[in-house]
Structure 1
């Protein structure tokens, strides 16, 4: 999937008529998507994602998840293994997603599990349907990153507005 906001929509929002700053606008779109993904834990563009967890019973922070593609770990003998998908059930419909199994294999002490998945919204319309605030925050952030391009940051009020729009979507952890 392309970015949640396309170049032409962003240029219209910014009232840019020429193509001279297409690179800067495109960069602002990517930065805005990244900011929202970092803040909320939501994946806005469909793609492969690998999340590393410390135990099989840990919650997955990635969401929305389309499919779990591989669960890799190091067994107690130090051999890399892929846990068969017939041996676990992926509870991906709600957040946080979890994997469950009748029995998990034993891990090498101190090792981690890599869960590779396909995640993200299919289209900008799906994002809009899930939460219109995400798209509003995207537009605010695109303008903020574009207008503050010399400093590489965001004006405080832009970030405050984006956080306010996305706060209910953030997965809080302690």
Structure 2
């Protein structure tokens, strides 16, 4: 199971101006660094929660259908299922009708049931599910997730000299886990 981002988000959930106001920074000397820290904080948050903050296109690639009736899409909230492709032995795609699809878009992770399960002909990456996930606008993102990004990006900025940019995120600030706890994926 592989999740691929096909269309990146058009914007970040936190603006540069918002982060600078949070950190009380007036100068523009480190704007590029601050923007990169926003991306790092957002990417980390999405990875640990399974939540797509800003709307984007994703492709879930499977070798075969799961044993049970439900497919976990690994991201939430899901706006739409855009296409399902099943590849035959020659590598040619077949597309089952989307009318036989049942989507639980807000579950964490989002869940999908497909009634028309064509058998893939190739043993690896035989099924692709294209979908759009993420909140429609930054105003819909829960405030605790926005706060987590601000706190994390500020923390990364404070320790920017101790850890190089390519090694980020190197640390998580105190209180971060409490902010995102309701959004964490839990496993048994």
1:133 maps to what in 2? 144
* Contact 1:42–1:63 (CA under 8 A) maintained in structure 2: yes
2:156 maps to what in 1? 145
2:111 maps to what in 1? 98
* Contact 1:49–1:116 (CA under 8 A) maintained in structure 2: yes
- With over 3 angstroms needed to count, the CA separation of the structure-2 counterparts of 1:47 and 1:156, relative to structure 1, is closer
Scaled by the length of structure 2, the TM-score of the pair is: 0.79
State the SS of the aligned residue for 2:58: strand
State the SS of the aligned residue for 2:71: coil
1:79 maps to what in 2? 92
In the alignment, structure 2 segments of 5+ residues that lack a partner are 1-9
Give, in angstroms, the shift of residue 124 of structure 1: 2.1
- The equivalent position to 1:124 in structure 2, one of 130, 138, 150, is 138
Measured on the aligned residues, the alpha-carbon RMSD in Å equals: 2.2
2:7 maps to what in 1? none
Work out the CA distance in 2 between the residues paired with 1:81 and 1:173: 34
In the alignment, structure 1 segments of 5+ residues that lack a partner are none
- With over 3 angstroms needed to count, the CA separation of the structure-2 counterparts of 1:17 and 1:4, relative to structure 1, is same
Tell me which protein shows more helix as a share of its residues: 1
Work out the CA distance in 1 between the residues paired with 2:107 and 2:100: 21
1:69 maps to what in 2? 82
Give, in angstroms, the shift of residue 155 of structure 1: 6.2
Work out the CA distance in 1 between the residues paired with 2:138 and 2:172: 25
* Contact 1:137–1:162 (CA under 8 A) maintained in structure 2: yes
For residues 23-34 of structure 1, what are the structure 2 equivalents within 5 Å?
Answer: 23-34=32-43
1:39 maps to what in 2? 48
* Contact 1:72–1:83 (CA under 8 A) maintained in structure 2: yes
* Contact 2:145–2:180 (CA under 8 A) maintained in structure 1: yes
